[in-house]
């Protein structure tokens, strides 16, 4: 199984909500704090900035979503493809 990377900020309520949802669903992820470390260049170049939370999985970057539950559903859907 490929690893999920989440680009987050500790002060972001949306990021924290998504983390809680993923933990509840048993989905493991690597948390990348964009306040402490500069994200990979290709992530910034793809979007021009880092909207958070942003999720990367299997070469896909997801950041446009209705709410955190919908984003978690999308993550699960993409994970099921691999």
Question: Residue 15 has what pLDDT?
Answer: 92
Question: Residue 26 has what pLDDT?
Answer: 93
Regions of the chain where pLDDT drops below 50: none
Reduced 3-state DSSP string for 2-55: CCCEEEECCCCHHHHHHHHHHHHHCCCCEEEECCCCCCCHHHHHHHCCCCCCEE
Q: pTM of the prediction? A: 0.80
pLDDT tens digit sequence for 33-55:
888 877 666 665 566 667 788 89
CATH numbers and ranges of domains, the chain: 5-80 (3.40.30.10)
């Amino acid at each position: 199984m490929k690893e999920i990377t989440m680009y987050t900020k500790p002060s972001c309520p949306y990021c924290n909500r998504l983390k809680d949802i993923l933990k509840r669903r048993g989905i493991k992820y690597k948390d990348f704090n964009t306040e402490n470390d500069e994200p990979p260049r290709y992530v910034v170049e793809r979007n021009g900035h880092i909207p958070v939370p942003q999720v990367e999985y299997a070469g896909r970057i997801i950041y446009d979503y209705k709410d955190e539950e919908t984003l978690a559903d999308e993550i699960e859907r993409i994970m099921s493809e691999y």
